[in-house]
Amino acid sequence: MFHTALSCLLALTLGAAPVDGPDLSSVPADLELPEMVEGSPAPGMRVRATAPGFEGGGAYHALYLPVDWSAGAKMPVFVEYPGNGGYTNKFGDVCGGVPEGCALGYGLSGGRGFVWLALPFVEVREGRPGVARKWWGDVAQTKRYCLAAIDDAVARFGGDPSRVILGGFSRGAIACNYIGLHDDEIAKRWCAFFCHSHYDGVIERWPYAGADRATALERLRRLNGRPQWISQEGSTAATETYLRETGIVGDFVFRAIPFRNHSDRWVLRDLPERRAARQWLELKATSRTRASKRGS
């Protein structure tokens, strides 16, 4: 009995849903993730793009302009990071670790109302930037790519710099704080964060520098009360406990996803959790607009 309880606790702590939970495949998808293609950006298309300053290398991102995009309009921007590549499990969940594998921005927006950027973690090999499929690559270059891609979306596609939301799944969820709050320069770019499945500081044994809680707390202090959606398959209990222990007061929304899958594909299905997430996202984007207008 003790060993069973301990196994369940460890499963929740490490981010795995109980194996007896339902599978996402039991709910039909109502959205199909658009394929990333070569070509010029256009409404309803997801194209391969490269941030200014990274031309000629192997680093790239996926850029999606919503179906209701028009030149001259100002729109919020959803910036997303993928999970670690090479991931598979016995439920058929997979993650390639590349930008085109991201799904949160599309599922949460339904393809409307948001410019969507799925970004890479950048590694440098033989002087050439490429896509790091596991963990952070070169943190300085990953950060530089992120800022350049956002600035390009603002300058060319009407992204509203006051309404940039950072999200991610698994490794990408950890990146919301690890990259997004890495220093004061990048931390100021975001109005909200969407973290699905894992959270910076909860697990200290990840194989990278700065995974310890003391360093994660330094990053978390840069949140400054901005809202975070925090979801997890099975339970958010470990993250809730961690955040209480930090003493950081924040605008946190916690939501357990009642499926056994370590996957971001729940946002491609009409679930109560997706409806709640969409409402949260819309509220954060529109409330930021109202705040900006009051300050102008």
Q: Give per-10-residue mean pLDDT for the chain (296 aa).
A: 33 47 96 97 98 95 98 96 96 97 98 98 94 97 98 98 98 98 98 98 95 97 97 97 95 97 98 98 78 40
Q: What pLDDT does residue 287 have?
A: 72
In three-state secondary structure terms, 32 is coil
Structure tokens at 85: 């590549």
Give backbone dihedrals phi and psi of 88, rounded to 5 degrees, phi first. -145, 155
Are 131 and 223 in contact by the 8 Å Cβ rule? The answer is no
The residue written with tokens 């973690």 in the block is 121
CA atoms within 13 A on the CB side of 217: 11
Distance between CA atoms of 288 and 16, rounded to whole angstroms?
Answer: 34
Q: Which of 190, 160, 147 is nearest to 296 (CA)?
A: 160
Q: What pLDDT does residue 21 have?
A: 87
| CATH code 3.40.50.1820 for 60-291 | yes
Q: What pLDDT does residue 43 have?
A: 98
Q: Which of 152, 150, 181 is nearest to 164 (CA)?
A: 150
The residue written with tokens 């039909």 in the block is 28
In three-state secondary structure terms, 142 is helix
Q: Which of 157, 159, 119, 158 is nearest to 141 (CA)?
A: 119
Q: What pLDDT does residue 148 have?
A: 98
Q: Which of 197, 198, 202 is nearest to 263 (CA)?
A: 197
Q: What pLDDT does residue 19 have?
A: 56
